[in-house]
Amino acid sequence: MSRILTRGDLIADRYRVETFIGQGGMQEVYRAVDTSLGRHVALKVPKNDSGKKRFARSAAMSARVTHPNVAKTYDYVDDGQRQFLVEEFIDGHDLRHMLEEVFYCLDPHLAAHVLHHLAKGLEAVHREKVIHRDLKPSNIMLSGDEDLASLKITDFGIAKMAEAEIGEGVKSFQDETLASRTVVGAIPYMAPEVLSNRDDVSTSADVWSLGAIAFYLLTGEKPFGDGVQAVQKILARKPPDRPAMLAKVTSQFRQLVDELWDLMMQCLAADPNERPTASELVAKCNRLCYSRAPRVRGCVESYRPKKGKYGFITSDAHGDPTFFHADSFWGHTSPEPNQHVCFARFPGTPRARAHPVLLMRNAGTI
């Protein structure tokens, strides 16, 4: 497939292209070297004229925000033929990749961590009177570790000032040709007022998106389904039902799950005025009690479902197997031998104990 840039291209006599990273509906993304400062950067270039206007706006908006949970904007280049947005390079993957290729979903502790820090980033964005308007898993970058220690909101390609008009992207969500490329992936995270193309969209639309993302984190499912078919469900303004996997949780997770569910429902309120602000959401997340104990990967060595519902996990990080109970296991299935998991390990007698234990898709590297 033909790419806009090739390895070795030099942009603005400064940014040397190294490799193609990926693409969205309106842009291609490359890893490049800033030859002036000797650091890697993410170099983004629009695919078409529609993207060009958004790139200039993106640079102006995102450059105003400085926060550990928001990707930094370093530079904007217009050489007369193309526009380039130069951003902080994050060595990891986006949240969509993590949930489609690495995890099935996140356990309540890890989901609470992600939600908490996304709320902090969103608070910083809204403080600058910016509405992201395209908050979705593919616009959230995560560090490549089991702890998901670092996460950053990125891609302000259709971000707006609070006073600005709504972009033309949402207007054509019913155009299946266009939607298949640029809009369908964003629909599950679009607030009803955005889909209605109202002219009074506020920062609360981003909070709604955060609620939809939190639902996806915890369950591996979108609250209103996928693609264009989700539009009518969102516009109906009826809150999603509590999924079966969240209806019956063990005592190990119950309190945190209930608190996260309550936060999600507040964020997904049909009336924008009834949703918490990003600052209020940060305050609520501050009160959550979730573990940040370091995690390692392992494999379920054995499991006894009829004799105590316990088993053991082997890991290259530890010489002896780690004990776990089914009540500490989080996933769409019951524990089984040879499953790949990540877990936190605590001292115990006669064996160290794992909690939580999160089911993974495979043993590959993140």
| Tens of each residue's pLDDT in the chain, 366 residues | 679 999 999 999 999 999 999 887 678 999 999 999 999 999 999 887 655 666 677 677 778 888 999 999 899 998 888 889 899 999 889 999 999 999 999 999 999 999 999 999 999 999 988 888 889 999 999 998 899 999 999 886 545 544 343 344 445 555 554 444 456 778 899 999 988 877 778 999 999 999 999 999 999 999 999 877 788 899 999 999 999 999 889 999 999 999 999 999 999 999 999 999 999 999 999 999 999 999 999 999 999 999 899 999 999 989 899 999 999 999 999 999 999 999 999 999 999 999 999 999 976 666
pLDDT of residue 27: 81
Q: CA–CA separation, 280 vs 154, rounded Å?
A: 22
pLDDT of residue 162: 41
Ramachandran bin of 13, using left for φ above 0, alpha for ψ from -120 to 50, beta for the remaining angles: left
Domains of the chain plus CATH, in order, are 10-88 (3.30.200.20), 92-286 (1.10.510.10), 295-359 (2.40.50.140)
Write the CB contacts of 328 (distance below 8 Å, at least 6 apart in sequence). Answer: 250, 252, 353, 354, 355, 356, 357
pLDDT of residue 172: 52
Cα–Cα nearest to 306, from 326, 324, 292, 287: 326
Write the CB contacts of 234 (distance below 8 Å, at least 6 apart in sequence). Answer: 187, 190, 191, 192, 195, 224
Cα–Cα nearest to 326, from 292, 351, 347, 303: 303
Phi/psi at 62 (nearest 5 deg)?
-70, -25
Characterize the bridge pairing of strands 329-330 and 353-359: parallel
pLDDT of residue 165: 35
pLDDT of residue 180: 44
Structure tokens at 35: 């030859």
pLDDT of residue 164: 40
Angle in degrees, CA 302, 303, 306, rounded to 5: 145
pLDDT of residue 355: 98
Catalytic residue among 49, 78, 107, 134: 134
Q: CA–CA separation, 196 vs 208, rounded Å?
A: 14
Assess whether 320 carries a catalytic annotation: no
Q: CA–CA separation, 324 vs 5, rounded Å?
A: 50
pLDDT of residue 178: 44
Q: Where are the alpha helices (DSSP H) in the chain?
A: 49-62, 95-97, 108-127, 176-182, 192-195, 204-219, 230-235, 244-247, 254-267, 278-286
135 close to 160: Cβ distance less than 8 angstroms: no
pLDDT of residue 242: 95
Residue 168 in 3-state DSSP? coil
Write the CB contacts of 163 (distance below 8 Å, at least 6 apart in sequence). Answer: 129
